[in-house]
Amino acid sequence: MPAFFELCMFEDLLLPMFDDEYYPDILVAEVKQFIQQFAKKVAKADLSITEIYHYAAETVVFINKMKPQFDDLDSSLDDTAADYIAEAMMMVVQDQGYMDVEMEELVSNREW
């Protein structure tokens, strides 16, 4: 049941990136998968804020590695993409009741 809930709840994750032709859908879908994996980790009971930031940093490392793929398709992980990704990650943590998380801290290790 939680997996179904997660799929429904996060169906619209990164929708603005999917709607913008500048960002290749295939790569945005991959970023979305990383965020969904982050969501599964955050859904574990009673995490500390430090643990959430740790899982967020892991997720951002995977997204950082995608930068060349975006470049190869005449796109980029620009400031707008960073905002969309940070907002999606924030949505994940707030959905789990973590309201004291700082959005910038979730993506503090970004290289884009």
Please state the domain extents for the chain: 2-106
Q: Assess contact for 112 and 61: CB atoms under 8 A.
A: no
Residue 11's pLDDT is: 74
Q: Assess contact for 13 and 29: CB atoms under 8 A.
A: no
List the pLDDT tens digit at each of the 112 positions of the chain: 344 444 455 678 899 999 999 999 999 999 999 999 999 999 988 899 999 999 999 999 999 999 999 999 999 999 999 999 999 999 999 999 999 999 999 999 999 8
Give the sign of the dihedral formed by CA 108, CA 64, CA 14, CA 73: positive
d(Cα 37, Cα 96) in Å, to the nearest integer?
Answer: 14
